Structure 1
Amino acid sequence: MSSVPFHGRRAAIAFIFVTAVLDIVAMGIVIPVLPQLIEQFTGSNARAGEINGLFVALWALMQFVASPVIGSLSDRYGRRPVILLSTAGLACDYLLMALAPNLWWLALGRMIAGVTSASFTTVYAYMADITPQEGRARAYGLIGAAFSGGFVLGPLLGGVLGEISPRAPFWAAAVLSGLAFLYGLFILPESLPQERRMAFAWRRANPFGSLRLLRSHPELSGLAIVNFLLYFAHHVFSAVFVLYAGYRYGWSAWEVGVLLALVGVLDMLTQGVLVGRVVKRLGDRATMVVGLFGGALGIAVMGLAPTGMWFTLAMLPNALWGLAMPTLQSLMTQRVSESEQGQLQGTNMSVASIAGVVSPLFFGWIYAQSVGAAPALPTPGAPFLIASLVLLAAALLGWAVARQAGRHDGDGPAATTDSAAV
């Protein structure tokens, strides 16, 4: 494990939680207002859906390029400098978007945000450094809970500030990212000792070369496809949710912020409280599959919900989705060596980023075809129904991968004892 002493690990974990909350609050603040700002520039709800999907795709494209580079740099130079530089970059980027005079400047801001947000790969690698393998699902669940806590505060604050001005949330996000940088500058210890660092090589750091890691260990390729499908479905929210909620239910920025805060509360409870208990009872793999099936059910109900109340109630089964993400991360980290954790997280982020490029463009286009005077699709909930089918496919594949892993348990470098749990 890490050479960070016990008291240092406590400070490091505290920093990861605080930084995660501050960073996600900063990201969540702009969610209720960015699509509306785009709509002000375009003058069309349908057109705003397409542009917002394009912006999310640009953000993901930059993550695809930057994530393996950042992950490999953290394997070479340590986690601390990478996290600090990325956090400072986020603060500068939010200032740029607060001052953006047109869509081109907003697009540039989203691209820079994709690069700086790629530091989340290093956060997960940091936790792998300081956490034993058997505790990683719970540790990743706690990180997810911290992220969710940020999403509770962020959209609420963004909804309030958005009533003042669409630009105000961006200024607040810049301040919060700056605070995260200053906090880490004085608190964060390094987690990766010199003897466990790996030389930087472009053949591993480029986004396509990094994907070779997925073929080098049993089970990783199948889990990577599950990861791709999970993120593909998840981007339906970032691509169309705000516009959909206003179009179908007439919700304001404040109401959207409240609902996103509710999502954050449920996800925080799921990842912070349920993950550890369910994994202890069922194992990592079975917990992952249960989470994927629950998410598929919840998002299907969202697409069919005739009223805002039904949509809100659908958040309950959808919250089980939070069981899948940390257990999937845990299963993958157990299949590579300690010196490859940063590379793995960069590769995972690249896979997620590929989904992030194609998914928002796809769902933005689907949304544009399902609203307006003469929609080509029969219901504005079509994006959510399609996302539900994608998540159902992820659940079935996860179940199949779990069965195969049960037959080959012991082949990987760090096989776990819960392989037969499904």
Structure 2
Amino acid sequence: MSTLEHTIASERKASLLKQPQAVWAVAFACIIAFMGLGLVDPILPAIAKKLDASASQVSLLFTSYNAVMAVMMLVTGVITSRLGMKRTLLLGIVVIAAFSALGGMSNNIWALIGLRGGWGLGNALFVATSLTAIVTLSTSSVGKAIILYEAAVGLGISVGPLLGGELGAISWRGPFFGVAALMVIAFVALSFMMANSSPQSSPTAAARKKTSIVDPFRALKHRSLLVLGIMACLYNFGFFTIMAYAPLVLGHMGMDEHGLGYVFLGWGLLLAVTSVFTAPLLQRKFGTIKSLAFMLVLFALTLLAMGIWTDTKWVVAAAVIFAGALLGNNNTLLTTAVMNAAPVERSTASAAYSFLRFIGGAIAPYFAGKLAEWFNPHVPFVVGAGFVIVGMLIVLINQKHVKHVDQVEAAH
């Protein structure tokens, strides 16, 4: 390698870590926020037992959460453009903390389902804004900024189940109070670490261009964004079958909170590692769309294996962990594609895509639980695999509308 090539390579490696203080503040808050998502996973069987709830009722904890997130994603851009990124992030953190604490005090499954919807409201404000903030404020390319975001998400998701398993072993209420405490830490950290951030992130600068609630719908007129959004909706059927239904299957086979915590710790660690290291390699070698299609096929086969060997605990547990690697790659590739898909504001593209994405996340958990009740425990995994394959086929059929995302990322 020549001296010039070595210098360029070194700069590329360093650019991901050389970020403004505001970016690191948001990334740190993302880790804590997504720890909250993973904290709840190991206690789903315990909630079902303690509150005398069925599998489909427990799955509504994810349905209400994702349904509110999907709708609120349409207005996060409107709120952010008026409050600014920092204030919107802090508002989201406060809402998450409040509803998670109230959830820990509830004694009824339906009350808990409603409170999870409030939690989804806070998460919508935080998640959509945090992605936009990192991409906007980062000094790296869009692709590298998204890798940083997905790394923060992966770290939070990986550590969350371990902590949730430990707290859940004491009481199913423990993880809810744990989330509230973590959100207080995130609020303090974000308040101080973003205090001296660049003028770009100030409320005044963010409000210069106010967005409308109809902007995400207008953005979906771009075929590329619509195709990726529909694919994400169908892909989330598989994703939340893993998140919401697999813990119930493993719990039914005797796995306790500690065991579930370790399984989803492995899942999250692989998700974090692959989102940072292997997704960029796949993108450079094969392109975003081809890599996405390949990951979706592998994910569908993994779900199918879980559907065939649903009664074998080690197979289900191993498949959950292995799925983390596929989801880590897919999340980074998909988010990069969305940010480069259409000539619209990134916050608007994120809102439109997230709306479609979380519709799938809202339907899938309840649907999986009902399929198990109507038929047998194998069916939800098989149906989830079918949805993932359909999502992959939609992207391939519309490949001419999305192939430009690789050219845009290369230009960046």
TM-score surpassing 0.5? Answer: yes
Gaps of at least 5 residues in structure 2 are 1-15
1:394 to 386, 391, 396: 391
Does structure 1 residue 23 correspond to structure 2 residue 29?
no
Partner in structure 2 of residue 207 of structure 1: none
CA–CA separation in structure 1 for the residues paired with 2:44 and 2:25 = 28
CA–CA separation in structure 2 for the residues paired with 1:313 and 1:354 = 28
CA–CA separation in structure 1 for the residues paired with 2:163 and 2:343 = 41
Query: Any idea what the Cα deviations from partners look like across 1:300-338, whole Å, max 9, x if unmatched?
Result: 222223522222333336622322222222222223346
Within a 5 Å distance, the mapping from 1:237-386 to structure 2 comes to 237-247=242-252, 249-305=253-309, 306-314=311-319, 315-316=321-322, 319-337=325-343, 340-369=345-374, 376-377=375-376, 380-386=377-383
The amino acid across from 1:254 in the alignment is H
Aligned sequence identity (%):
22
- Kept in 2, the 8 Å contact 1:138–1:326? The answer is no
- Kept in 2, the 8 Å contact 1:152–1:264? The answer is yes
- Kept in 2, the 8 Å contact 1:59–1:111? The answer is yes
CA–CA separation in structure 2 for the residues paired with 1:38 and 1:212 = 41
Partner in structure 2 of residue 106 of structure 1: 112
Within a 5 Å distance, the mapping from 1:14-413 to structure 2 comes to 14-42=24-52, 47-118=53-124, 119-131=126-138, 135-188=141-194, 189=197, 191-192=200-201, 194=205, 197-204=208-215, 210-215=216-221, 217-247=222-252, 249-305=253-309, 306-314=311-319, 315-316=321-322, 319-337=325-343, 340-369=345-374, 376-377=375-376, 380-406=377-403, 409=404
Q: Which range is displaced more, 24-33 or 113-122?
A: 24-33
CA–CA separation in structure 2 for the residues paired with 1:318 and 1:18 = 21
- Kept in 1, the 8 Å contact 2:42–2:261? The answer is yes
CA–CA separation in structure 2 for the residues paired with 1:259 and 1:33 = 13
CA–CA separation in structure 1 for the residues paired with 2:242 and 2:322 = 16
- Kept in 2, the 8 Å contact 1:335–1:415? The answer is no
Name the count of aligned residue pairs: 388
CA–CA separation in structure 2 for the residues paired with 1:125 and 1:241 = 31
CA–CA separation in structure 1 for the residues paired with 2:72 and 2:358 = 10
Shift in alpha-carbon separation, 1:332–1:236, aligned structure 2, 3 A: same
SS in 1 for 2:398: helix
Partner in structure 1 of residue 10 of structure 2: none
Shift in alpha-carbon separation, 1:381–1:19, aligned structure 2, 3 A: same
Shift in alpha-carbon separation, 1:400–1:321, aligned structure 2, 3 A: farther
Q: CA deviation at 1:283?
A: 2.1
- Kept in 2, the 8 Å contact 1:90–1:113? The answer is yes
- Kept in 1, the 8 Å contact 2:271–2:324? The answer is no
Shift in alpha-carbon separation, 1:404–1:212, aligned structure 2, 3 A: closer
Shift in alpha-carbon separation, 1:318–1:115, aligned structure 2, 3 A: closer
TM-score, normalized by length of structure 1?
0.84
- Kept in 1, the 8 Å contact 2:307–2:380? The answer is yes
Query: Any idea what the Cα deviations from partners look like across 1:67-106, whole Å, max 9, x if unmatched?
Result: 1111222134321111111012111111111111222331
SS in 2 for 1:199: coil
SS in 2 for 1:201: coil
SS in 2 for 1:156: helix
SS in 2 for 1:416: helix
**Aligned-residue CA RMSD in angstroms?**
2.6
- Kept in 2, the 8 Å contact 1:284–1:418? The answer is no
CA–CA separation in structure 2 for the residues paired with 1:50 and 1:150 = 26
Shift in alpha-carbon separation, 1:234–1:104, aligned structure 2, 3 A: same
2:23 to 3, 13, 31: 13
The amino acid across from 1:416 in the alignment is V
Q: CA deviation at 1:415?
A: 5.4
Q: CA deviation at 1:404?
A: 4.4
Gaps of at least 5 residues in structure 1 are 1-5, 205-209, 370-375
CA–CA separation in structure 2 for the residues paired with 1:220 and 1:153 = 32
- Kept in 2, the 8 Å contact 1:223–1:401? The answer is no
